[in-house]
Amino acid sequence: MDRISLELIKGIAKPSPTRIVLLVIDGVGGLPNPETGKTELETARTPNLDQLATKGMCGLIDPVSSGVTPGSGPGHLALFGYDPLSYNIGRGVLEAMGIGFDLKQEDVAARGNFCTVDKVGLVTDRRAGRISTKKCSELCQLLDRGVIDRVKLFVRPVKEHRFVVIFRGEGLSADVSDSDPQQTGVAPKVITAHHAIARKTASIANQFIAQAGEALAKHYPANMVLLRGFSQHPQLPSMGEIYKLKPAAIASYPMYRGMAKLVGMEVLETGTTIEDEFMTLKQNYAKYDFFYLHIKQTDAAGEDGDFDRKVKIIEQIDSALSELISLEPDVIVVTGDHSTPALLKGHSWHPVPILLYSKWCRPDKVTKFSESACLSGGLGRFPATQIMLLAMANALKLTKFGA
Amino acid sequence: MDRISLELIKGIAKPSPTRIVLLVIDGVGGLPNPETGKTELETARTPNLDQLATKGMCGLIDPVSSGVTPGSGPGHLALFGYDPLSYNIGRGVLEAMGIGFDLKQEDVAARGNFCTVDKVGLVTDRRAGRISTKKCSELCQLLDRGVIDRVKLFVRPVKEHRFVVIFRGEGLSADVSDSDPQQTGVAPKVITAHHAIARKTASIANQFIAQAGEALAKHYPANMVLLRGFSQHPQLPSMGEIYKLKPAAIASYPMYRGMAKLVGMEVLETGTTIEDEFMTLKQNYAKYDFFYLHIKQTDAAGEDGDFDRKVKIIEQIDSALSELISLEPDVIVVTGDHSTPALLKGHSWHPVPILLYSKWCRPDKVTKFSESACLSGGLGRFPATQIMLLAMANALKLTKFGA
């Protein structure tokens, strides 16, 4: 939140019977196809989005800052109104959330890499030649059997050489250094406590690493582990507290279900398709006053560099949107947590198109939901952290500031 | 002020013979009439405003922040260049200013409610059934006779159940808690001092409440009082100090005269009509180099939900504007302290149209002063706290920053 603190919002938010739907099309922003000059969103046929754009207002958001490519964590925190520069979610916690691990408040999580070390223990490959995810799973099972000093360890595969370790027990602290030296030709670092209170955690982590080294000795190239990003469940004020909302999340991917849980949303059971998610919205519409609906497939297509697939998914979302529109929410916001241009095969720094529809919009002249049209939209270009405030205002859920 | 502090402005401001007129059309921004698709400002015939828009530059301002509906206090502070999030004016002071009470520097003011308590003293209605303003006046007279511990108390009616108490004497502090519990079913709270220095004020306030309870015993439903928002005249640096201006205010409503006094303007005597105010400007034009001219009627029409009346008042202002234009001020700024769409019958969060005319404008293509035209204006969308800096620059009243 730029100048407006969560504390201030808490002071002006009021419950009301109106409903807000925040539809997050992950990685929706793109770049023009050099052959057509049109982005994925501009190529797709999107009558429903265009109708909303015509009735409502459009603009562009910066999730973190102009020029900064956001990860999914910061991108989503911003959408929910939390300053992603103030609320940092540790790497370990993000990885645990990403695989849907049910992290407890006191757990400490660390991101792990399987790596290669030479005979004298110097790191030669920080990613063990990017072993397969299958291999990673096997090795994690090998390591996942430990209790050290009465602390339970969970070792879970993520993808390729990536895994996550969760430490569960009393008196743990995430305030320890990494073992990952972030370079080759040197030995893994000994983990040290930044404060006395973290000594136990450092000791257990070092014991785990020593045991892992022994267990992996014959598993070249994955013959050692590197740990980094020790972190705990961050203590975020809940959306219920701040906005006086009863919020629900509809997301099929664990990472986003985890993000929603972090900010106190109720996470609804849903299926794996886009249609499933919209059906879940319909079925639960009466029970909540805020819905976060997350669609992952656009981002995945962008990451794969598959321009045409991303176009098709956007069209599929547009069709499913009829369902949402027929519910007549008081406020509909459609945007993404970042751009994922198929041309870049990854997240990017480009601002993300946004549309906001409500009865109380002062309409602009935009009649299409696209990057180029949003450039002249009435919402202008603004930080993503302001979206919630705008949505709340349009839902008449905010009282006057000052007399 | 976003990134530019008042201290910095003080360092670059210089006196000059040029003149600035800031015309504040209260609540000028609106929403489109569903029948015509045009806002109040877009419906009104405004040849003078349009001529200024054509010669000058237009844009949109956010008084506090996107999505935040400002009260008149924060809205005006921002127009005068004071960050409304840093300079908070207490509720008691605002109420005192609103009724034109001549508040001294050491006075402490508190907002009061007449309320209803049951036999055992629990609050059953925080507003005493919204008694009439006439009844409120009578009850205030009943309570307005006190000197407690050598401190003089003024009890003055505001509107319906609302009143204000001003404590005048030595050694007072506003650093005390409220007696208003902000809910029913509980007893009014005992006022406590947040610091030792405020003990005297807390004690006097509690004595006043006890006496009021006795005096009101037979005046059901207004049989008790609740106090909140104890505050003192905030210490704001004056506009004279910051901008090196000799500023004058022309406003017929007490609240805005009070706001102007807070920032060190000379408040001129004027009449109650729009024409009176422009006449006052003409008569005093030679004596000051900055004029704040406030017109309340637009906001009142918006609050009443009277679209057509708001249109007519805007047209009336436009006619009166000839008078102002003929004085040939070096800089004319026309804007509002917030939007008040007739459709919403109240202040709103929508950004406010602004036009700035000076000889030194780099003109844009806007030829009409309206919400939709301002959207593509050369001033863009910006925080209201920057208006004074822009006006000063256009009046050639600022020196270079840095060598």
B381 touches chain A (CB under 8 A): yes
In chain A, the N- to C-terminal Cα span, in Å, equals 23
- Left (φ > 0), alpha (ψ -120 to 50) or beta: where does B302 sit? alpha
Check: CB of residue B79 under 8 Å from CB of residue B63: yes
List, in sequence order, every beta strand (DSSP E) within B191-336: 224-232, 247-250, 266-267, 290-295, 331-335
Q: In angstroms, rounded to a whole number, what is the distance separating the alpha carbons of residues A225 and A144?
A: 13
pLDDT in tens, A120-145: 999 999 999 999 999 999 999 999 98
Q: Is the pLDDT of residue A324 over 90?
A: yes
Alpha-carbon torsion, ordered A202, A203, A205, A207, to 10 deg = 160
Query: What would the mean pLDDT of B113-121 be, rounded to a whole number?
Result: 96
Q: In angstroms, rounded to a whole number, what is the distance separating the alpha carbons of residues A164 and A98?
A: 10
Dihedral sign (CA B370, B274, B33, B352): positive
Least CB-CB distance to B84: which of A12, A398, A402? A402
Least CB-CB distance to B69: which of A2, A364, A401? A401
Running DSSP on this structure, what letter comes out for residue B380?
Answer: E
- Categorize the per-residue pLDDT at A258 as very low, low, confident or very high, splitting at 50, 70 and 90: confident
A12 touches chain B (CB under 8 A): yes
Query: How would you list the strands of the sheet with A380-383, edge to edge?
Result: A266-267, A247-250, A290-295, A20-25, A331-335, A352-358, A57-62, A380-383
Q: In angstroms, rounded to a whole number, what is the distance separating the alpha carbons of residues A318 and A322?
A: 7
A8 touches chain B (CB under 8 A): yes
Q: Is the pLDDT of residue A293 over 70?
A: yes
The per-residue DSSP string of A45-95 comes to --HHHHHHHHHSEEEEEESS-TT----HHHHHHHHTT--TTTSPPPHHHHH
Closest by CA position to B313, among listed B30, B15, B7, B2? B30
Check: CB of residue B227 under 8 Å from CB of residue B179: yes
Beta bridge partners of A167: A108, A153
Query: What would the mean pLDDT of A174-187 be, rounded to a whole number?
Result: 96
- Categorize the per-residue pLDDT at A4 as very low, low, confident or very high, splitting at 50, 70 and 90: confident
Model ipTM?
0.85
- Categorize the per-residue pLDDT at B269 as very low, low, confident or very high, splitting at 50, 70 and 90: very high
Query: What would the mean pLDDT of A254-279 be, rounded to a whole number?
Result: 93
- Categorize the per-residue pLDDT at A161 as very low, low, confident or very high, splitting at 50, 70 and 90: very high
A4 touches chain B (CB under 8 A): yes
Q: In angstroms, rounded to a whole number, what is the distance separating the alpha carbons of residues B30 and B23?
A: 17
- Quote the pLDDT of residue A3: 64
Are A401 and B376 within 8 A, CB to CB? no
Checking DSSP bridges between strand A224-231 and strand A151-159, what pairing results, if any? unpaired
User: Does the pTM of the predicted model rise above 0.90?
Assistant: no
Q: Is the pLDDT of residue A146 over 90?
A: no
Residues of A with CB below 8 A from B69's CB?
393, 398-401
Are B67 and A8 within 8 A, CB to CB? no
Are B85 and A4 within 8 A, CB to CB? yes
Residues of A with CB below 8 A from B365's CB?
none
- Categorize the per-residue pLDDT at B3 as very low, low, confident or very high, splitting at 50, 70 and 90: low
User: For B94, phi and psi rounded to 5 degrees?
Assistant: -60, -45
Q: Which residue of B has its CA nearest to A2?
A: B65
Are B89 and A402 within 8 A, CB to CB? yes
Range scoring the smallest mean pLDDT among A331-340, B250-259, B315-324: B250-259
Check: CB of residue B70 under 8 Å from CB of residue B63: yes
Check: CB of residue A138 under 8 Å from CB of residue A160: no
Q: Is the pLDDT of residue A234 over 90?
A: no
Are B66 and A401 within 8 A, CB to CB? no
Count of CA atoms in the C-beta half-sphere (13 A) of B291:
29
Q: Which residue of B has its CA nearest to A383?
A: B66
Query: What would the mean pLDDT of B126-135 be, rounded to a whole number?
Result: 94
In chain A, pLDDT over 70 holds for what percent of residues? 99
Check: CB of residue B91 under 8 Å from CB of residue A403: yes
Running DSSP on this structure, what letter comes out for residue A201?
Answer: H
As a whole number of Å, the CA-based R_g of chain A is 23
Rounded to the nearest angstrom, the minimum Cα separation between B365 and chain A is 15
From chain A residues 328-367, the ones with a CB under 8 A of any chain B CB are: 360, 362-365
Give the helix/strand (H/E) hosting B42: helix B40-43
- Quote the pLDDT of residue A1: 41
In chain B, pLDDT over 70 holds for what percent of residues? 99
User: For A95, phi and psi rounded to 5 degrees?
Assistant: -65, -40
Q: Is the pLDDT of residue B2 over 60?
A: no
Query: What would the mean pLDDT of A231-245 be, rounded to a whole number?
Result: 94
Chain A interface test: which of B2, B33, B62, B65 (most A C-beta within 10 Å)? B65
Least CB-CB distance to A400: which of B71, B85, B350? B71
Residues of A with CB below 8 A from B74's CB?
401-402
From chain B residues 184-243, the ones with a CB under 8 A of any chain A CB are: none
- Categorize the per-residue pLDDT at A350 as very low, low, confident or very high, splitting at 50, 70 and 90: very high
Alpha-carbon torsion, ordered B113, B119, B122, B125, to 10 deg = -40
Q: In angstroms, rounded to a whole number, what is the distance separating the alpha carbons of residues B388 and B395?
A: 10
- Quote the pLDDT of residue B260: 94
In chain A, pLDDT over 90 holds for what percent of residues? 90
From chain B residues 20-39, the ones with a CB under 8 A of any chain A CB are: 31-32, 39
3-state SS assignment for residue A226: strand
Least CB-CB distance to B69: which of A378, A382, A393? A393
Query: What would the mean pLDDT of A43-63 be, rounded to a whole number?
Result: 98
User: Under 8 Å CB-to-CB from A256, ≥6 apart: which residues?
Assistant: A72, A76, A249, A294, A296
Rounded to the nearest angstrom, the minimum Cα separation between B325 and chain A is 30
pLDDT in tens, B160-186: 999 999 999 999 999 999 999 988 999
Least CB-CB distance to A4: which of B32, B65, B375? B65
Check: CB of residue B262 under 8 Å from CB of residue B233: yes
Q: Write B253-257 long-range contacts (CB < 8 A, 24+).
A: B253/B294, B253/B296, B254/B97, B254/B98, B254/B99, B254/B100, B255/B72, B255/B94, B255/B97, B255/B98, B256/B72, B256/B76, B256/B294, B256/B296, B257/B97, B257/B100
Query: What would the mean pLDDT of A321-348 be, rounded to a whole number?
Result: 97
Q: Is the pLDDT of residue B1 over 60?
A: no
Are A4 and B39 within 8 A, CB to CB? no
Are B70 and A364 within 8 A, CB to CB? no
